[in-house]
């Protein structure tokens, strides 16, 4: 695997260990055609049925409402086109927010090109729609809203919009690609879409759920697989793995969300302090736990990404699904925020605090380096936020002398961890802090810093 810190889970998540295990098992036990009547076919069918039950349970649907697609994009396309076709007697009006995934926008473009009508609901500066912006009427065949934005992490008011749609009798497609597995799926959807590789499942599996009673007419040629909604041979092993990982990540979610939320909060707080002329975008409170985006003025996002890649960080920039075309993000444009120099950090499950600290450590210098050729007169950013001084094996007063010499290397508010195993440090370091008006934060085991002995004495630079 890579020695880099992978901070782009919103593009694709590394395969969850449970998914890999389930995939390997299902390649042995579920490889046959589930439509066949012989033993291996029946076995594949049983595994498929069990996976459908699992996914239905986690997403709050009935098993017979779930069809497996080959991607989240296919789920969105089939869901939108099928609902528009099934409800075309209502009229040809389609409602969606300005910050939906490109698969929604492209399907809307095709609907428009074929004579349909499209109304785009704007968002505020935080990327959030006003529920009142959704005005489903008697001509509206479908409304679409994401649970959470894929570029800035803002959570959308799905329940309120669902209520407005319900009152108007208009079906609502909820795109849960970024939140499924992480957060409970809001109720009130008529159609629900998701993508397994975002939650640690394998590529090749999307989910399209269609509530009982919702009018749906397949836009593609007939096929008997997946309730007639998704043509083609069913990928049982991948579906089994997708279901297993969905159950696993959902079980871990509450604890892991809290941890990642704190790490993202740290990035949201620190980046504007460490980097001049930067804007953190998206809703600071109603947000995905693991995702944050900031934009650096005067910076070419692709260049900064290349620098971060060299420094060992895999992050995204620009519109998440069109970065290879280098077009500006339609999401950031709709929010009215900077569309240049943006960096999306999305943390996978299990992200280590030390990796986030290292990211905050290297980012200011990299941004400054990218900006340097421009000759701008920008405020000077603090050099670094954290410093670890290894004084293991050194006797007092050497640890205190090191601390005094180097505390200036961190920004005010930053932290120095002095690793020492001389017992005297436990008294000398707090005492030095008192004398020099620095804040002593306490003691932690040096194992937190990867050492097998000694303690870490944490000092916050105040002055």
Question: Which residues sit at the interface with a copy of itself, rule CB under 8 A?
Answer: 1-2, 4, 6, 8, 11-12, 14-15, 20, 23, 27-28, 31-33, 35-41, 70-74, 77, 102-103, 106-107, 109-110, 195, 197, 202-204, 206, 220-224, 231-238, 302, 305-306, 308-309, 313-316, 321-325
Bridge partner list, 10: none
Least separation in angstroms between residue 50's CB and a copy of itself is: 17
Please state at what angle helix 353-371 crosses helix 236-274, rounded to 10 degrees: 60
Peptide bond into 421 cis (omega under 30): no
Nearest to residue 94, comparing CAs of 74, 125, 115? 115
Instruction: Write down the residue that tokens 């803002």 correspond to.
Output: 154
Nearer to a copy of itself, 139 or 310 (CB): 310
Nearer to a copy of itself, 89 or 452 (CB): 89
Kindly tell me the sign of the dihedral angle through the C-alpha atoms of 164, 166, 167, 168. positive
Nearer to a copy of itself, 136 or 348 (CB): 348
Least separation in angstroms between residue 11's CB and a copy of itself is: 4
Question: Could you tell me the two tokens for 425?
Answer: 């440090």
Bridge partner list, 280: 294
Nearer to a copy of itself, 35 or 462 (CB): 35
Distance CA 69, CA 51 (A): 13
Number of H helices, E strands in the chain: 11, 16
Nearer to a copy of itself, 242 or 278 (CB): 242
Least separation in angstroms between residue 456's CB and a copy of itself is: 31
Nearer to a copy of itself, 20 or 261 (CB): 20
- Written as one string, the DSSP assignment of 57-91 is HHHT--GGGEEEESSHHHHHHHHHHHHHHHTTTT-
Q: Catalytic pick from 165, 296, 321, 433?
A: 321
309-313, Cβ contacts within 8 angstroms, sequence gap of 24 or more: 309/4, 311/362, 311/366, 312/3, 312/4, 312/5, 312/358, 313/4, 313/5, 313/7, 313/359, 313/362
Please confirm, yes or no, whether 321 is among the known catalytic residues.
Answer: yes
**Contact between 79 and 65 (Cβ < 8 Å):** no
Least separation in angstroms between residue 67's CB and a copy of itself is: 13
Nearer to a copy of itself, 114 or 452 (CB): 114
Least separation in angstroms between residue 71's CB and a copy of itself is: 3
Helix (H) / strand (E) containing 37: none
Least separation in angstroms between residue 73's CB and a copy of itself is: 4
Rounded to 5 degrees, φ, ψ at 46 are -65, -45
Nearer to a copy of itself, 287 or 344 (CB): 344
For the stretch 14-32, what's the b/e string if a residue is b when 16 or more beta carbons lie within 10 angstroms of its beta carbon? bbbebbbebbeebeebbeb
Least separation in angstroms between residue 266's CB and a copy of itself is: 22
In this structure, the dihedral spanned by the alpha carbons of residues 394, 395, 398 and 399, taken in order and rounded to 10 degrees, is: 70
Least separation in angstroms between residue 83's CB and a copy of itself is: 14
Question: Any idea what DSSP says for residue 196?
Answer: G
**What positions carry a catalytic annotation?**
321
């Amino acid at each position: 695997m890579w020695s880099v810190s992978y901070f782009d889970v919103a593009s694709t998540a590394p395969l969850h260990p449970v998914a890999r295990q389930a995939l390997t098992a299902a390649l042995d036990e579920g490889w046959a055609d589930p439509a066949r009547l012989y033993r291996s076919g029946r076995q594949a069918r049983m595994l498929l049925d069990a996976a459908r039950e699992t996914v239905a349970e986690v997403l709050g649907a009935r098993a017979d409402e779930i069809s497996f697609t080959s991607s989240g994009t296919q789920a969105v396309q089939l869901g939108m086109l099928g609902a528009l076709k099934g409800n075309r007697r209502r009229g040809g009006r389609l409602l969606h927010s300005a910050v939906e995934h490109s698969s929604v926008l492209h399907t809307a473009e095709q609907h428009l090109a074929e004579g349909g009508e499209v109304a785009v609901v704007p968002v505020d500066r935080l990327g959030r729609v006003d529920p009142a912006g959704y005005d489903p009427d008697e001509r509206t065949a479908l409304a679409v809203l994401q649970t959470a934005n894929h570029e800035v992490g803002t959570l959308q008011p799905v329940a309120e919009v669902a209520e407005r749609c319900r009152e108007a009798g208009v079906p609502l497609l909820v795109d849960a690609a970024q939140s499924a597995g992480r957060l409970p799926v809001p109720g009130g959807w008529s159609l629900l879409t998701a993508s397994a590789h975002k939650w640690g499942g394998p590529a090749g599996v999307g989910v399209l759920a269609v509530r009982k009673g919702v009018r749906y007419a397949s836009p593609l040629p007939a096929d008997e697989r997946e309730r007639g909604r998704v043509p083609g041979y069913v990928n049982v092993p991948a579906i089994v793995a997708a279901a297993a990982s969905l159950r696993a990540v959902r079980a871990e979610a509450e604890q892991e969300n809290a941890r990642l939320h704190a790490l993202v909060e740290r990035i949201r707080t620190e980046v504007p302090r460490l980097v001049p002329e930067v804007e953190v975008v998206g809703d600071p409170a109603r947000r995905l736990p693991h995702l944050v985006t900031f934009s650096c003025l005067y910076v070419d996002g692709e260049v900064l990404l290349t620098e971060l890649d060299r420094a060992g960080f895999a992050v995204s920039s620009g519109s998440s699904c069109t970065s290879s075309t280098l077009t500006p993000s339609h999401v950031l444009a709709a929010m009215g925020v900077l569309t240049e120099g943006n960096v999306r950090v999305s943390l996978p499950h299990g992200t280590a605090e030390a990796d986030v600290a290292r990211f905050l450590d290297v980012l200011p210098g990299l941004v400054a380096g990218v900006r340097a050729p421009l000759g701008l007169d920008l405020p000077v950013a603090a050099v670094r936020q954290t410093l670890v001084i290894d004084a293991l094996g050194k006797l007092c007063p050497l640890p205190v002398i090191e601390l005094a010499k180097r505390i200036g290397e961190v920004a005010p508010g930053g932290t120095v961890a002095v690793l020492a195993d001389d017992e005297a440090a436990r008294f000398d370091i707090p005492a030095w802090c008192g004398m020099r008006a620095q804040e002593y934060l306490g003691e932690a085991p040096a194992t937190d810093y990867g050492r097998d002995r000694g303690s870490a004495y944490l000092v916050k630079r105040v002055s």
